[in-house]
Structure 1
């Protein structure tokens, strides 16, 4: 086990506890990076002005720097500091915070959702992007196409992607840009969300389009993991599958207890001291958000799944200047989607699951078990072939 492999381990949380016991911020010799595991250390790193989201010498990953996906990447607010981060954020965040929950529910319920493996995949990975596309003024058909393109584009964000996936990501970036060019030129667009973003944005059109694409990419995996891990919580703890279970509380506790984003990274831009440790320019810090969520100094009884947890605190959506601007929208989409899934009275005894290969995300993929064995549902050309039965009792949540 190491802090990176932990993201997709069946149960990384005892390991995270051992890391916290060794010190909130320590240097990992094998990985050659610093690891922030405690709530105090994670908060300090995320707040420090010299801890940046990209290394100064490589603002865009070398693997994509020469393609359109790299051009989009380089303009994303989540991958920049200073004005290049503040300008798009100040335009996009206010509108996302004002999204009507009833509108989100209506958009989710308009989609065909089934509780089998194929239906769960579409609900997790396709549905949320379609909802955001509709909020921006795209048609349902355009939203479906955009969700497929977003699935290709997110490959540029992972160092595990192969050359074919990166080629597809560049093509997807070009097509997504084309969709937004047409949308921004459409005088009949009635989206109040898009109108507000355009009114607040003071930069160039290319930067605006890049960050609207970024809105899709952030929605894609983070929301999918939130929905999927909530389903796993229900499978592992069947007593939660009752009509009286408040779905909003369930989603809120899942994003703390078993978050879809397990870690993020920061790159030291200038000499600094954090938690008594001296860090130098070029140092890399692996920020274990999921570990900090389980720090008893942040939440009492952190390893217990408590629906009505008082004063719930979490680093899942980040903190400070790079806190996720779409937190409220992601939670609303996850709540509405899970509510719709549960309305079908699902029986999940026939499901198996595995985590998508990732260095930082915890994204379950579900599969139907057929009479002749496991029927794999192809997803994202990930190349994964491992399957696990749903761990009903063996890995049950503690409540």
Structure 2
């Protein structure tokens, strides 16, 4: 195993433990990457001002730099530092904290959920983004369209995407921009209007790009969270029964799953200036692979790290990031996942009839389900 393929390995966690045993920050010569595997190293890297989200000489991936998706990528707060990060975050984050959980539940339950694997695909990959779109004022048909376009757009974020997928991502970014501009002109949605006020005086394209970014983050993170929670229920029938008997246990399960088996296994940081981290000198242009999933299971962070415990005192996790780039949509993602999992359990879908595999990815751990023959 290596630190890249680990994200979609059936069980990467013993390997992560072996990396932590070698030291929190080590160099992997085959991949030419520094590896931050411990909680201490992860905090040091993610909070260091010289460890940035994009390489200085490639702020936008070359594969998309000349197209519409590249223009969106270049303005995403999650892909920028300084004011280009702080200002969009300050505009978007506050409104996401105030969304009514009952409103989320109503929107999730209103979505048609088919039986079997097709129903789970909709619940994972279509439902969450369409819920966010509805919260921003889109009607049901446009919410579904926004969700499908977001699925196309996220391909531009992966180095594994081929030319056909990247072309679809460019088209999707243009369509999403048009839909958001039309939606904003209506001025009838408090959440969208509040976000718009936060961008007052800024380039309108920056607002639109970061609304697309909100959807793209919702897509992967929520799909993986729902899927990995379902895998936990498939592997632990007694846990499945516990949640069927007591739906209040869904939130503790999701809180533990995002620590125990997170949908985003790693992220990267790029050294912009000479610095020292945990006594190790790093030079500009060095790349650090930050193993969020490994740090979550560091026994210095969480006692009994390899046990899945619904009742875990002082649970700590890096799955939604930490420091200046901590995800502003954590609460929203967890609420959508809670309502979705509750709906799946209420409809008593037959989980034992499902097969699954992880989607190809360099950092995501997102299971896709299919019906057994």
- Flag whether TM exceeds 0.5 (same fold): yes
Q: Which string of whole-angstrom CA distances, capped at 9 and with x for unpartnered residues, describes residues 156-183 of structure 1?
A: 0000000010001000000000001101
Mapped contact 2:266–2:363 kept (Cα < 8 A): yes
Counterpart Cα distance in 2 of 1:273 and 1:239: 47
Counterpart Cα distance in 2 of 1:208 and 1:263: 27
Counterpart Cα distance in 2 of 1:255 and 1:114: 26
Match of 1:272 in 2: 275
Match of 2:307 among 304, 309, 320: 304
Number of equivalent positions:
368
Q: How does 1:110-149 map to 2 (within 5 A)?
A: 110-149=110-149
Counterpart Cα distance in 2 of 1:68 and 1:196: 26
Q: CA deviation at 1:120?
A: 0.2
Counterpart Cα distance in 2 of 1:174 and 1:198: 19
Match of 2:193 in 1: 195
Question: TM-score, normalised on structure 2?
Answer: 0.98
Q: In structure 1, list runs of 5 or more residues that go unmatched.
A: 371-399
Q: CA deviation at 1:115?
A: 4.9
Counterpart Cα distance in 2 of 1:167 and 1:72: 14
Give the match's secondary structure for 2:268: strand
After the TM superposition, which segments of 4 or more aligned residues of structure 1 sit over 4 Å from their partners?
none
Match of 1:90 in 2: 90
Match of 2:338 in 1: 335
Q: Which string of whole-angstrom CA distances, capped at 9 and with x for unpartnered residues, describes residues 68-109 of structure 1?
A: 000000000000000000010000000101111111000001
Match of 1:324 in 2: 327
Counterpart Cα distance in 2 of 1:20 and 1:166: 36
Counterpart Cα distance in 2 of 1:166 and 1:114: 30
Counterpart Cα distance in 1 of 2:184 and 2:348: 41
Match of 1:395 in 2: none
Q: CA deviation at 1:318?
A: 0.1
Match of 2:228 in 1: 229
Mapped contact 2:52–2:269 kept (Cα < 8 A): yes
Mapped contact 2:184–2:193 kept (Cα < 8 A): no
Match of 2:52 in 1: 52
Structure in which a larger fraction of residues adopt helix: 2
Give the match's secondary structure for 2:372: strand
Q: How does 1:281-300 map to 2 (within 5 A)?
A: 281-300=284-303
Distance 1:20 1:115, change over 3 A: farther
Counterpart Cα distance in 2 of 1:212 and 1:249: 29
Mapped contact 2:228–2:367 kept (Cα < 8 A): yes
What's the Cα RMSD here? 0.8
Counterpart Cα distance in 2 of 1:309 and 1:112: 34
Q: CA deviation at 1:114?
A: 3.8
Q: How does 1:26-65 map to 2 (within 5 A)?
A: 26-65=26-65
Counterpart Cα distance in 1 of 2:351 and 2:130: 25
Match of 2:216 in 1: 217
Counterpart Cα distance in 1 of 2:181 and 2:12: 43
Match of 2:81 in 1: 81
Counterpart Cα distance in 1 of 2:197 and 2:155: 31
Match of 2:103 in 1: 103
Q: In structure 2, list runs of 5 or more residues that go unmatched.
A: none
Question: TM-score, normalised on structure 1?
Answer: 0.91
Q: CA deviation at 1:57?
A: 0.2
Counterpart Cα distance in 1 of 2:267 and 2:165: 22
Counterpart Cα distance in 2 of 1:244 and 1:333: 18
Give the match's secondary structure for 1:104: helix
